Structure formats: C-alpha cells, structure tokens
A and B are shown apart, each in its own frame.
Chain A
Amino acid sequence: MTKSYKTKGSLIGAFLRGSKRFFVAGALFSALTALTDLINPQIIRFTVDSVIGEKTPNLPAGVQTLLEQVGGLGVLKKSLWQIALVVILVALVGAVFRYVNRLANAGGAERLVKTMRDMLFTHIEKLPFAWLSKNDTGDLIQRCTSDVETVKRFLSEQLTSLFRIVVLIVLALFFMWGISPALTTAAAVFIPIIVLYSLLFHNGLQKTFRKADEEEGALSQVAQENLTGVRVVRAFGRERQEKDKFEKQNDIYTAAYMKLSVLLSAFWSVGDGISGLQVLTVVLYGAVLATRGQITAGDYIAFISYNAMISWPVRQLGRVISQMSKAGVSVDRIWYIMQGQEETDLPEAKPAPMDQDITFDHVSFRYGEDLPWVLKNVSFTVKAHTTLGILGSTGSGKSTAMLLLDRLYELPKENGTIRIGGVDIREIKKEWLRQNIGLVLQEPHLFSRTLADNIAITQPVTRMEEVEEAAQTACLTETVSGFAKGYETFVGERGVTLSGGQKQRTAIARMLLGRPPVMVFDDSLSAVDTETDAKIRKALLEGAGAEGLPLPSTRAAEGSPLPSTGAAAGSTLPETAKAAATPTMILISHRVTTLMECDKILVLHGGEVKEFGTHEELLKKNGIYRQIYDIQNSGRQESEGVNQPSPEQENVEKSTVSEAGGKEGSGHE
C-alpha cells in the first residue's frame, strides 16, 4: 500500500520526486541562457562606440585586462574579426546553455509525467473493484491522460516559461538601466499595460473559448450519432433531415469559432499596435537623449536591441498567467483518484490452507446503504474436493456470492462470515485467496496481447507445453488451430475478435494454468454448447492429472508429493491422491444436465437459499429444481424421445442439421 496524501501539495510533491532537480537545473540554465543572450548588445555597443567610433571604453575590470593582453583597442580596430569571434564564442556558450536548459526541462517533464502516470496506474490497480465500478471509465481515463497532461504542462512549461520570461525581463531592464535610466523608465511604463491587457483579454476570452468548445462537442456528437445509428437513418429514410441537422450545427459551430477568431485577430493586431508605439517611444526619446549627448550611438543600438528582446516575452506573459488557472481543476481531478482508499488486508492476515471446506455463514449483502439486499442470510457449506452447483435466475445473488468469496467486495463484519477451513476469509491475505480461487467470469476480460500470453498471463515463466495442455483441457485447441498464427494470434482491438464461447474457454485455460485448488465458474460455460460444456467439466474433474496438469491441493503444500505423472488417468491414482488433486468446484449454471452431476446443488432465489442438497434429494423435494428438471427433460423428450442425451445422440443431431443444410440451402419452395 502506498502512503496516502493529506494535502494536494504533498501529492504534487510526490509527483515531483525525481524530477525536481531537473527543473532546478533547467531554471538555472534558463537564467544563464538569458544572461548570454543579453551579452551580444553589449558587444555591439562596445564595437560601435569604441572600435568603430573613438569613445574610450568603460569596460568591467576583467574585460579590460583581457583586452590589454591581446594588444589593446588598437588591435581590435585593425582586425574586427576578433570581435566576430567573440560574438560566436558567446553564442556557442549560449547554445550549450540553451541546449542544457531545454534538455533538463524535457527530462524533468518526462520524468514527472512518468511518475504521475505510474503512481496513478499502480494506485488504480490497488483500488477496490467496488470503487472502480462506481466511477465512469471514460472519465477516469480522461483524468489519467488529459488532466495529467495539463498538470505536466503547468509544472514543466507554464511555470518554467513564467520563470524564464521574468528573469529575462528583469535582466534586460537591469542592462537597459545601465545604459540610460530615463529611457528604461519610458520603455518599462508599457510593460504593465501590455501584461494587463493580455491578462484581461485572455480571462475574458475564456467564455468564448468554452462556447466554441461546446459547439464543437455538439457537432461531433451529431456526427457520432449519425454514424452509430446509420441503420436507423437509412431504414427511416432520414438522410435529408440528418444532413440538415448536421449543417445547421456546423454553421453554429463555425460561427462560434469565427467569433473567437475575430477576437483573437483583434487582440493580436492591437497588441502589435501597442508594441509598435512602445518602440516608437523608445526610438524618439532615445534620439532626443542622443542629441543631448546623454547616450552614444552604441548605447542607442544596444538599447533598441534589448527593447526588442523583451517585447515578445512581455506580450506572452499575460497569456501564460491566464492559462495557469486551468491547472488547478486538473489537480483536483487527479487528487480525487489518488484519494480513493486502496484495498487492505488486516495486519494479522496470512495465507491459509485452501483445500478445505468453504462455508457461507449467515451472509447478507447489499451494494449500498440505500440499495436492496442482494443476499439474505445465506448459509451453506461446500466440502473440500467436491463440486457445488448453483442454480438461480438473474438477480438471485449467485454472482454476488462468488464476488464476496473472492473478496472483490468486502463483506461487512456484521453481515456474516465466509470461512475456508474454518478461517474467516477476512483473515486470509487477499493475494493468497485470489491466487488459490480460480474465478472465471461469465464475460471474462481478455488482454490485448497474443492468445498464448493471455493464457499464461498469471505465470512469470511458462513453457509452451503448459499453455497447450491448459488449452486442451478447456477445449480450445480446435479454435486455436483455426487461426493462421495459432497461439500467437493477437486478441482484441488490434487482432481477432473472439466469440463469447471462445473467450470463456480462453479464460478457463488461463485459470487452469494457475492450478488453483478452488475453481469457480460463474456461468462461464454459458456461451459454449452442451457437449463442450460436458467435455470441459469431465477434463477438469478427472483428466487434469492425466494431462500432466497436477492440481496441487494448495500452494502451501508445494513441497508435498503430487500426482504429476502424465501416463495414468486420474482414476488409476490411489484414492487419497486423487482426492487431494481434485479441486473444490463451484459451478453456476442453468443447465440441469450440468448441475445434476454436482455433489450438491444450491438453489438461490431473490438472495435466499431456497433448496440445498443432492440431485436426488432435490428431486424428491418437488420444488423449483424439480420443476426445472422436468421442463428441461420434457423439452428433451419432446425433441429426442429420450431422457438423457448421450454424446452419440448429440452427434447424430448435428449431422442431421448439416444434411438439412445442404438440402435447404439449394432452393426451397
């Protein structure tokens, strides 16, 4: 668990860890760069007045000594190339400073943004699932990407350019003051005017900006809806109305941006005008001072250069300041994520043996204070190494029970207890618990990488044979061989799209590779057909050992001897070893054929346990299970005239259909 941040300041401090020194170096070199940039006008001033002209130079002591060592002013007068060389040398030093400054800034900025992203991602991966499902994914991603970008820009661009601009202006004014205090005053009078003008303008512009942004969003939405609803548009013949709607919004959008553009054009033009007047003031007043003999030609040229150097930064200042206000909002939005409480374990939590009985003891649960109860006082026990089948309709709470078992939602203390081998799961380390419970969801998430990488994702190192074995158990081999690239096929957005059943089987293979002693299938065979369903279950129960996939009782018992020979089927193993290798399974399904093979069956409805017992017991009970059994059986009898389908029967059925396909396809009626 990472430490929590009490204030936004401490969060920003944490973000800046590792990049601060880069920014400090950047600032230092930014000041040095400004300083070297400001030397040139001094050289020009000296050259014009004392080398070309005849004025006695008024040089700093160091430079004076240096000058005398090269032979005094006379040498320079004869060979001006030496001055050119000085200019280039200064420029070279300046270029190095500038390079270091930029590199340090970029290095800092990129380190900063990496730290921010890593911290956010790591934190998000530690947030409880409940927190994430409460928040909109798109919005969270927005916070992690564009808000991060805004904060980065604030710290690495806006703050540094503010610093650079202020340093440059201060230094330039200092040099200008050295030439002529009166002229500097005249030039500087304009600075607050320009900054204020720009600041006020940009602040006033924000509403227009927002409006233009909104209209763009609206236009984008019209296009988006049209494209996603293209079938509706066509089927209702609404092309013309859609066109009109788009063109109308397009006009509004264009007008909004036009308004913004006009304002910006006016702003820049007027800004040009003000700057021009400032230059004129300096030129004329400088001329006056020159005629009075208060400044020389060199002074005049240098001063004009300095003035030109600060004119653009001064104009930028207002904009930079006005943009900085946006960063605050972004910091708030990131702060929101960082404040989410990470998942925790009790301090005394530890690993516990997992090949034990699983007990739900008076468990009740609801997703929120004001929401209805999803589970009501649910109690049952799954004996170790046995299989429990759960039957329940949508909203019966069956999935919730499994999420609680895996501690994806935390069961409040007062709402009952779930135990494994008598140990409260709250006292078991979360990581341990989840590693040892193989939970396969109904709609599992596959990662955008290859099939092999997906299956082996839980493993640090995997042999290809293991992947193939797991895939075989999950009846995935045939699917894989259908792909040109086999296990190297890329899954997801940038690759092939798998069907629901293929995804489920991939997820099962993925789970198998972890060899958990407890396996939970949350309706995760719903999208595969009955035959495959049966085949997978059979392979899971008895074939695991035979296929060289030993299922260790728990990881704690890693050292204990395990059935690992690939030669013998599970049935030939000694009885005890077989029991130890058999996982405890919980199967959620609506198929009676699946459920009836389970050791115990639980019927959940409306969050309550309605029936619990073996297949025979429940049949005798004449309740919901019996009814569903009868219905599903009668359906089968009606269509097949037999009680239970044998594999052969299913095959026959399949071939009939394909035969029919051949006939029907070629012309009917």
Chain B
Amino acid sequence: MNENEKTVRLPWFGIPKVLPYAKKYAKLIVIMMLLGALTSVIDSAFPLFHRYALNHYVGEGVLDTVAVFAALYVGILLVQVAANFISTYLSSKVELGVGRDLKNAAFTHLQTLSFSYFNQNSVGYVHARVMSDTDLIGTLLSWRIMDFVWNFSYIVCVFVVMLTINRSLAFVLLMLVPIAALFIALFQKKLIGLNRKVREINSRITGNFNEGITGAQTIRTLVIEEKIGREFEKDTEDMRCTAVRSAHVSALFVSVVTLLSSIALALVLWQGGQLTREAVMEIGTLSVFMSYAIGIMDPIQYLIEMFTAIIQTQANIERFTTLMGTQPDVKDTPEVLEKYGDVFTPKKENWEDLSGDITFEDVSFRYPDGEELVLDHFTLHVPKGTSVAIVGETGAGKSTLVNLVCRFYEPTKGRVLIDGRDARERSQLWLHSHIGYVLQSPHLFSGSVRDNMRYGKPDATDEEIWAALALVSADEVVRRMGDGLSSEVGEGGSLLSTGEKQLISFARAIIADPAILVLDEATSSIDTVTEKAIQEAVGKVIRGRTSFMVAHRLSTVVDADVILAVRDGKIVEMGRHEELMARNGYYSHLFRQQYEESEQKVAFARGV
C-alpha cells in the first residue's frame, strides 16, 4: 500500500500550499480579522467600566453619570454583539467555502487520475482525503486565523491598557507570560503524543469488535471465545491505562494553569495592594488588574493550542497536496485535448465514429507498481466484430488486456491501434464513449434504475431504456421492482441480487450501442435461472460487436473467436477452442475442471 505516507515535509506548516484556495475569500478573511480584533478590544475594555464604576460611584458615592454610563455600556455591548455575529458568520462562511472548494478540487482531480492510483490507495484512504482533510484545512483558514487574531490582540490590548495605567504592575504580570507559555507548550506536546496513542488503541478495539463479529463462526468452531475475550480485555486495559495517563497529564495541566492565574492574582494583590494602600493607585485600578490577572491565562492557553492545531493540520495539508500533485499515468497530449476536449468539456463535434478494429502491435507491458513484464512483445489483431475470451484462474491477471483496450493503462512499449490509429491519437473520453463495460462485481449507483441506465446514455428515453433492458431480459426484474424505471436500487444496488445487478449492468453497457464491449464475468454463484438468463444475454449483446470477455462460463468461451489462456499474469496459450483442446495444455485442464463443475449442476438438475 502506498498510503503509508509518501508525503513531503512542507515549509511553513504547508500553509502557503493552501493559500491559493483562500484567495477567493481574502476580503471576507480581512473583514473577519478586523472584526475579531474589534471584539477583543471591546472584551479587554469592559473591565475599565468596572474601574470607573468602582472609582466614581462606589469610591466617591455619586451616581451623576449613570445614564451616560449605561447608554455607553449598552452601545458598546451592541457593537460587540454585532461584531461577534458577523465575524463568526464570516468564519463559518470561509470555513465551509474553502472546505467546499477543496472538496470539489480534490474530487475533480480524482476523476482524472489513473487506475494505478486507485489500485495503490484504498477507497477509505482516498475518501478521507476528500472528506476530512479538506474540512480541517478549511477550519485552519478560518477559525484558527480568527482565534489567533482574537487571542493575540486581546493579550496585546490588555498589556497596553495595563502599561498605560500602571507600568510597574504591568511588568510584574508580563514576566509571568513566558513562564506560563513554556509550561503550556510542554504539556501540550506530551498530550499530543498520548492522544495519538489513545486513538491508535481505539481503532484496535474497533478492529477487535469487527473480528469478534465477522469471525464469529470460526471463533465458535475453534472454541477460542475465552482466548479472544482475554486478548480483548488486554486491549481495553491498555486503553484504560493510556487514557488515564493522558487524563493525568491534562488534569495536571489544567491545575497548573489555574494555579498560575492565582499566582498572578496574588502578585497583583500584593504589589497593587501596597500601591493602593499608599494611595498611589485607586481601588478601581486594582480591580482592573485583578480581572486581567485572572483573565490573561486563557488567551495564552488558546494561542498555544492553536499552534498545536496548526502543527496537526500540517499532516492533512501534506496529504492533500500530495493528492493534488499526483499526475495521471495515462494523459491525453495537448494536441489531442485541443481537438477532442478534456473529460469535463468534450468537443464532441470533432469526434469520429469507431468501428471496433483493434490491433496490439508488439506490445510489452508492466504495471506501474510491478517489476515483471506481463506482456512481452505481444501482437494480436482483433478485427471488427471478433469475440475474444480470456480465461485463467482467479488472480492470474486476466484484466491486463482489457485494461489496455480501455486505455486504463498504456503499453510500456509498442502500440494499441484502434481502427488503425494509435489509441493515443484520440482522447480517452472518445474511446470510452464507444466502449460498453460490464464489471465482474456489477456496480450500480444509488438512485433509480433510470438514473443507472442513463449512466450509459445520458439522454436515453424511457423507450430506449426498456428496449435495452428487454434485450438482456432485465425488463422482468425491473417490472418486479414495483416502481418501474423509477424504482430505487439502493446504495451500491443493495436492493437487488447479484444476478439482477449483473443483468441491469448488461443493459447499461449496451444502451449506447457501443462498438466495443468489455465483459468481466462474475465468479460468484448465482441461481441457475439467472445464470441462464445471463448466458443468453451475453450471446445477444456480443453479436456484431468487438468483444473482450474475461470469461468464467463455458458457453462464452467455446464460441469465442480467440481464446487467451492466462497464467500468472502471462498469456500462455492462444487459439480457438478446438485447437486448444487438441493441444491438451493448460486451457484444456482449466476447461475440464469447469466442465465438471457445470455438468455436475446439470446432473443434479436431471437427477431429481
């Protein structure tokens, strides 16, 4: 697996890499920052109201300015409420906007990547890049900036105010800041490590549950419930210990931070109290200092937490930029793009028809992640309308030829000619629009039958859809679903059986009347009736088309114009059925085995 971090360390926590995505929101971000600064100024100014009230009303015992005081207070409060609302609104807007743009960019880029990428990276891994990395980067460019501005500016404002009203007392508090910052940073570092460990053990426990449930039958037959249970309890105990250790550090952390603010308060009370007693300072000023002393620790803590978050987001940025930097192995040349358009903006007016004559001309091929040549100077002419069957055991590499025909991969050496011209001379999309493809494990998209059929032909009418379904006898299936073409197929087609999905995917493949048909037959056992229906369907749909069949069923193999037998990734035999049987080699061995199995089914059917 390639997913185990093939990323590069980026300077500046990778932030410069994602700044282009924030450009669109630059204005919003600036307003957001300004408003954030404004709210922090107001927040740091509120204690001054108390100071005035203490010095003037409480100290001097007059209430002369109460009306103005209240009006001013309410006025500033309203400004703060408004600024708060707008800045948090903008933060959300930037966060979600950047997240959306990044998701779109990642998704769009993935649509252009080659199969080698998807073979090397699991769906779960790629999915997380699209869905969660992007969110975290969005948060970085909005809330993190906002947090930074607010906390930083709050600290600055507080010290400015303090320095203005009493310099020496301000210095006393200022001294505490680096000590506090150092403490907090040390604790944070320790906590990050512990929390990572907690997450690791947590996913191990989830894995244990998974194994305990999916492996239940095996566990019961082996009578190892107790052993598995003991091991599980070891993991949960490990979890408990690590989590408690982490809690211990964070409890210590919180206690130390509150202790620090109490120390700040004590210093103010001591130094400031003396000043007040000597009547150098008013009581209200002392109160302001006390408020600040208690209030300054939180922003320091938040600032450091923010840095930790930035460091943690760096990994997300690196993974995201690695994805965006991945180049497809198969690429159309600029000239081809110029004429035929790209996948998102095809220039269909320039597209030629395709008749389906395919030639492998001295093709050698090695998978990008493989070392061995799986095709070595392979030459084969497949005239229009020819059927090619590819047989071999599971995992023998039967898909290689199909991958080359579809241009999912390109030959390492040699050429694949389509209608006499190098496949590279025309765009991938052009080629794909002329290929009908049926996957071994039929993949339907959630939505209606109609949606899925239109996958093959976006402008298909209901009549066309029914006709295509009828051709492969899938119309009965759809009628049984109750809602006709509007029936939902469920996530991944989960509301249908494998055989039914297969039939619908046949219909989907032929609805656009493609010149080339690629069939990857299912190995999974399906009931005899459906199997018969599928066999008939195959016979019908390949007629008049150039077809490539990764075949498991005898009927398709026997009637094929060319049979290729594949073993360990290499083509070991080639020819018609009779020739290969006469040769008495690998193919005949495979055939015999299959024959036995299928005839056995027939015998059982007859024997009843």
Interface residues of B in 515-547 (CB under 8 A from A): 518, 525
B81 and A47 contacting across the interface, CB-CB below 8 Å: no
18 A-B pairs, CB-CB below 8 angstroms? A88-B262, A111-B240, A118-B232, A141-B206, A145-B205, A145-B206, A225-B446, A234-B115, A236-B456, A291-B62, A301-B54, A435-B223, A441-B217, A624-B604, A631-B596, A632-B596, A665-B376, A669-B381
New A-B pairs, 7, CB < 8 Å, besides A243-B111, A257-B92? A83-B269, A98-B258, A264-B92, A290-B57, A408-B217, A623-B607, A657-B573
The verdict on A90 contacting chain B, using a C-beta distance below 8 Å, is yes
Which of B62, B210, B574, B591 sits near A137, CB closer than 8 Å?
Answer: B210
Interface residues of B in 529-576 (CB under 8 A from A): 567, 570-574
The verdict on B93 contacting chain A, using a C-beta distance below 8 Å, is yes
Give every chain B residue within 8 A of A243 (Cβ-Cβ): 104, 107-108, 111, 344
Q: Which 6 A-B pairs have the closest CB atoms?
A: A106-B247, A91-B262, A261-B92, A235-B437, A102-B251, A624-B607
B277 and A110 contacting across the interface, CB-CB below 8 Å: no
B131 and A220 contacting across the interface, CB-CB below 8 Å: yes
Q: Annotate A401-412 by CB proximity to B: 1 below 8 A, 0 otherwise.
A: 000001010000
Please, which residue of chain A has its CB at the minimum distance from the CB of B602? A631
Residue in A83, A232, A457 whose Cβ sees the most chain B Cβ within 10 Å: A232
B273 and A661 contacting across the interface, CB-CB below 8 Å: no
Q: Annotate B32-58 by CB proximity to A: 1 below 8 A, 0 otherwise.
A: 000000000000001001100110011
The verdict on A272 contacting chain B, using a C-beta distance below 8 Å, is yes
Q: Annotate A193-237 by CB proximity to B: 1 below 8 A, 0 otherwise.
A: 000000000000000000000000001110111111111111111
Of B67-75, B173-181, B305-313, the one with at least 4 CB within 8 A of chain A: B67-75
Which of A77, A122, A392, A493 sits near B277, CB closer than 8 Å?
Answer: A77
B221 and A406 contacting across the interface, CB-CB below 8 Å: yes
A132 and B258 contacting across the interface, CB-CB below 8 Å: no
The distance in angstroms between the C-alpha atoms of A500 and B591, with both chains bound, is 20
Residue in A235, A240, A590, A624 whose Cβ sees the most chain B Cβ within 10 Å: A235
Shortest B60–chain A CB gap in Å is: 9
The verdict on A419 contacting chain B, using a C-beta distance below 8 Å, is no
The verdict on B592 contacting chain A, using a C-beta distance below 8 Å, is yes
Of B95-103, B316-324, B479-487, the one with at least 4 CB within 8 A of chain A: B95-103
The verdict on B248 contacting chain A, using a C-beta distance below 8 Å, is yes
The verdict on B123 contacting chain A, using a C-beta distance below 8 Å, is yes
Of B13-21, B183-191, B577-585, the one with at least 4 CB within 8 A of chain A: B577-585
Give every chain A residue within 8 A of B518 (Cβ-Cβ): 235
B589 and A631 contacting across the interface, CB-CB below 8 Å: no
Q: How many A-B residue pairs lie within 8 Å, measured between CB atoms?
A: 459
B217 and A660 contacting across the interface, CB-CB below 8 Å: no
Q: For this complex, into which size category does the number of interface residues on chain A fall?
A: 35 or more
B266 and A287 contacting across the interface, CB-CB below 8 Å: no
A126 and B225 contacting across the interface, CB-CB below 8 Å: yes
The verdict on A277 contacting chain B, using a C-beta distance below 8 Å, is yes
The verdict on A483 contacting chain B, using a C-beta distance below 8 Å, is no
B287 and A301 contacting across the interface, CB-CB below 8 Å: yes
B252 and A99 contacting across the interface, CB-CB below 8 Å: yes
The verdict on A190 contacting chain B, using a C-beta distance below 8 Å, is no
A287-B209 contact in complex given A242-B111, A656-B585, A669-B380, C-beta closer than 8 Å? no
Of A60-68, A368-376, A444-452, A465-473, the one with at least 4 CB within 8 A of chain B: A444-452
Give every chain A residue within 8 A of B583 (Cβ-Cβ): 660
Shortest B180–chain A CB gap in Å is: 14
B378 and A667 contacting across the interface, CB-CB below 8 Å: yes
A284-B69 contact in complex given A91-B266, A141-B213, A243-B107, C-beta closer than 8 Å? yes
A258 and B232 contacting across the interface, CB-CB below 8 Å: no
Shortest A615–chain B CB gap in Å is: 16
Which of B343, B380, B491 sits near A668, CB closer than 8 Å?
Answer: B380
Please, which residue of chain B has its CB at the minimum distance from the CB of A460? B227
A84 and B269 contacting across the interface, CB-CB below 8 Å: yes
Give every chain A residue within 8 A of B107 (Cβ-Cβ): 223, 226, 243, 246-247, 250
Shortest A201–chain B CB gap in Å is: 14
Please, which residue of chain A has its CB at the minimum distance from the CB of B225? A125
The distance in angstroms between the C-alpha atoms of A28 and B299, with both chains bound, is 29
Give every chain A residue within 8 A of B435 (Cβ-Cβ): 235
The distance in angstroms between the C-alpha atoms of A653 and B362, with both chains bound, is 29
Interface residues of B in 357-393 (CB under 8 A from A): 362, 376-381
Shortest B53–chain A CB gap in Å is: 5
The verdict on A639 contacting chain B, using a C-beta distance below 8 Å, is yes
Which of B92, B127, B248, B591 sits near A265, CB closer than 8 Å?
Answer: B92
A230-B93 contact in complex given A83-B273, A118-B233, C-beta closer than 8 Å? no
Please, which residue of chain B has its CB at the minimum distance from the CB of A276? B77
Of B82-90, B163-171, B331-339, B416-424, the one with at least 4 CB within 8 A of chain A: B82-90
B574 and A668 contacting across the interface, CB-CB below 8 Å: yes
The verdict on A241 contacting chain B, using a C-beta distance below 8 Å, is yes
The distance in angstroms between the C-alpha atoms of A668 and B446, with both chains bound, is 44
Please, which residue of chain B has its CB at the minimum distance from the CB of A662? B572
B344 and A240 contacting across the interface, CB-CB below 8 Å: yes
A117 and B218 contacting across the interface, CB-CB below 8 Å: no
Please, which residue of chain B has its CB at the minimum distance from the CB of A255? B96
Please, which residue of chain B has its CB at the minimum distance from the CB of A251? B100
The verdict on A151 contacting chain B, using a C-beta distance below 8 Å, is no
Which of B218, B254, B262 sits near A444, CB closer than 8 Å?
Answer: B218
Q: Annotate B283-317 by CB proximity to A: 1 below 8 A, 0 otherwise.
A: 10011001100000000000000000000000000
The verdict on A358 contacting chain B, using a C-beta distance below 8 Å, is no
Give every chain B residue within 8 A of A72 (Cβ-Cβ): none
The verdict on B433 contacting chain A, using a C-beta distance below 8 Å, is yes
Give every chain B residue within 8 A of A270 (Cβ-Cβ): 81
Please, which residue of chain B has its CB at the minimum distance from the CB of A633? B596
A114 and B604 contacting across the interface, CB-CB below 8 Å: no
The verdict on B455 contacting chain A, using a C-beta distance below 8 Å, is yes
Give every chain A residue within 8 A of B599 (Cβ-Cβ): 628, 631-632, 635
The verdict on A638 contacting chain B, using a C-beta distance below 8 Å, is yes
Give every chain A residue within 8 A of B470 (Cβ-Cβ): none
Please, which residue of chain B has its CB at the minimum distance from the CB of A135? B213
The distance in angstroms between the C-alpha atoms of A144 and B209, with both chains bound, is 8
The verdict on A565 contacting chain B, using a C-beta distance below 8 Å, is no
A95-B81 contact in complex given A261-B96, A660-B573, C-beta closer than 8 Å? no
The distance in angstroms between the C-alpha atoms of A548 and B380, with both chains bound, is 55
Give every chain B residue within 8 A of A92 (Cβ-Cβ): 259
A665 and B570 contacting across the interface, CB-CB below 8 Å: yes
Give every chain A residue within 8 A of B82 (Cβ-Cβ): 269
Give every chain A residue within 8 A of B2 (Cβ-Cβ): none
Interface residues of B in 219-250 (CB under 8 A from A): 219-225, 227-229, 232-233, 236-237, 239-240, 243-244, 247-248, 250
Give every chain A residue within 8 A of B7 (Cβ-Cβ): none
A98 and B432 contacting across the interface, CB-CB below 8 Å: no
The distance in angstroms between the C-alpha atoms of A123 and B456, with both chains bound, is 49
A87 and B265 contacting across the interface, CB-CB below 8 Å: yes
A96-B255 contact in complex given A457-B222, A656-B584, C-beta closer than 8 Å? yes
A639 and B50 contacting across the interface, CB-CB below 8 Å: no
B443 and A102 contacting across the interface, CB-CB below 8 Å: no
B221 and A80 contacting across the interface, CB-CB below 8 Å: no
The verdict on B408 contacting chain A, using a C-beta distance below 8 Å, is yes
A110 and B247 contacting across the interface, CB-CB below 8 Å: yes
The distance in angstroms between the C-alpha atoms of A95 and B257, with both chains bound, is 9
Please, which residue of chain B has its CB at the minimum distance from the CB of A406? B221
The verdict on A288 contacting chain B, using a C-beta distance below 8 Å, is yes
The verdict on B112 contacting chain A, using a C-beta distance below 8 Å, is yes
The verdict on A266 contacting chain B, using a C-beta distance below 8 Å, is yes
B270 and A83 contacting across the interface, CB-CB below 8 Å: yes
B88 and A265 contacting across the interface, CB-CB below 8 Å: yes
A118 and B100 contacting across the interface, CB-CB below 8 Å: no
Please, which residue of chain A has its CB at the minimum distance from the CB of B591? A639
Shortest B338–chain A CB gap in Å is: 18
Give every chain B residue within 8 A of A638 (Cβ-Cβ): 581, 592
The verdict on A319 contacting chain B, using a C-beta distance below 8 Å, is no
Which of B269, B525, B606 sits near A394, CB closer than 8 Å?
Answer: B525
The verdict on A273 contacting chain B, using a C-beta distance below 8 Å, is yes
B377 and A667 contacting across the interface, CB-CB below 8 Å: yes
Please, which residue of chain A has its CB at the minimum distance from the CB of B583? A660
The verdict on B211 contacting chain A, using a C-beta distance below 8 Å, is yes
Which of B58, B100, B126 sits near A287, CB closer than 8 Å?
Answer: B58
